[in-house]
Amino acid sequence: MNLQKEDAPDRRRYRIALIPGDGIGGEVVPAARQVLESLGLDLTFVELAAGWETFQREGTALPAETLAALERCHGALFGAVSSPSHRVEGYTSPIIALRRHLDLYANLRPVVSAPVPGSQPDVDLLIVRENTECLYVKQEQLEDDGETAVARRVITRRASARIARVAFERARARQAASARPGRSPRVTVVHKANVLPLTDGLFRETALAVAADYPDVAVEEQIVDSMAYRLIREPQRYDVILAPNLYGDILSDAAAALVGGLGLVASANVGDRFVVAEPVHGSAPDIAGQGIANPVATVRAAALLLAALGEPEAAGRIERAVGRVLADGIWTPDLGGTARTGQVTRAIIQALQSS
């Protein structure tokens, strides 16, 4: 999927928005920028504000100026956001708002084994998560004088069909790129249609209808609770996992624990015209400002961004450099090491320059 702007005067020049957000986002996004700058690509960076700290300062978590500036960018790198666990009048998560505003309907989260403690071997899967609806439409209300809280869950045939096509296309592409040599492409459709026959039933029915257009891709179904169990027990068997918004969110965080933790896993929020890449981890306020945040997930997010923009070679160089650094044992404390954010970043850049 190539998301370069059609009106760009030079298709190899990119304007990238940097949105650090909250907490360690202010440390890992600049680290990823350094890595991007070392590639020799023609990149221009625009720093933009969003997040809880922005809300506290400006009264909005996603300023209109940020949205306007994004219209002039090719893609964005988002850091992390702190969201209060209690209701705050006027606040909504800016990353959810960005997904909705830019119609970033596909959340792509690759999960791959890494040479670090706790990583299971031979894991190479992709979680494809519908990114615009389900319970994340955030339509809630109180009833019975506050004694009952009700949330509306929305599943549409249109959204289910387009995310299913992304999953099957990605399965084909992974096979063509030999991500799983010697194994046939396969999509696992995750749902809970046995309990939610209308909403999950529609998602399941639509995904299986799309599957008929991809006879070269195997398809299977998995009830979400069984999926969580089997993902932990035998992650090596999975290729592409297709799930509604909430299930995909939960499963992808669980999958990160299989390959070394949230500090290593990135995601891309992709639409037809834009991409916002981000690490899977949160803002980690307990370690913010200490210089020990793991930049790898955000650096990998930068690679996903480049791949979506039509620079797969540069994206591959970043991934190979990260792999060498991790194999050399240059790890931040979350992985059991002693390296600081800057040390890991410099090591990745040195690996890039020596490749």
Provide the pLDDT for residue 34: 98
Determine the Cα–Cα distance for residues 154 and 100; give it in Å rounded to an integer: 14
Q: What is the pTM of this model?
A: 0.92
Query: How far apart, in whole angstroms, are the C-alpha atoms of residue 137 and residue 155?
Result: 10
**What is the reported pLDDT for 9?**
38
Check residue 180 and give its pLDDT: 63
Catalytic residues: 136, 192, 225, 249, 253
Which residue's entry shows tokens 């060498």?
324
By the 8 A CB rule, do 77 and 43 touch? Answer: no
**Degrees, nearest 5: CA angle 280-132-214:** 90
Q: What CA–CA distance (Å, rounded) separates 138 from 125?
A: 29
Helix axes 25-37, 341-353, angle to 10 degrees: 20
Tokens 């190479």, residue?
Answer: 124
Domain layout of the chain by residue ranges: 1-106+261-355, 120-259
Tokens, residue 275: 């991409």
Cα separation, 257 vs 253, in Å, equals 7
Predicted pLDDT at 177: 83
CB atoms within 10 A of CB 321: 24
Domain 120-259 indexed as CATH 1.10.645.10 = no
Helix spans in the chain (H): 25-37, 52-58, 64-70, 94-101, 157-176, 199-211, 224-233, 245-256, 296-308, 312-327, 341-353
d(CA 219, CA 207): 10
Domains 1-106+261-355 and 120-259 share a fold: yes
Average pLDDT per block of 10 residues along the chain, 355 residues long: 46 90 97 97 96 94 96 96 86 90 96 96 97 93 96 97 98 83 89 97 98 98 97 97 97 96 96 96 94 98 97 96 98 97 98 91
The CATH fold of domain 1-106+261-355: Isopropylmalate Dehydrogenase (3.40.718)
Distance from chain centroid for Cα 53 = 22
Side by side, the strands of the sheet bearing 240-243 are 42-47, 13-21, 75-80, 275-279, 266-270, 106-112, 124-130, 240-243, 186-191, 218-223
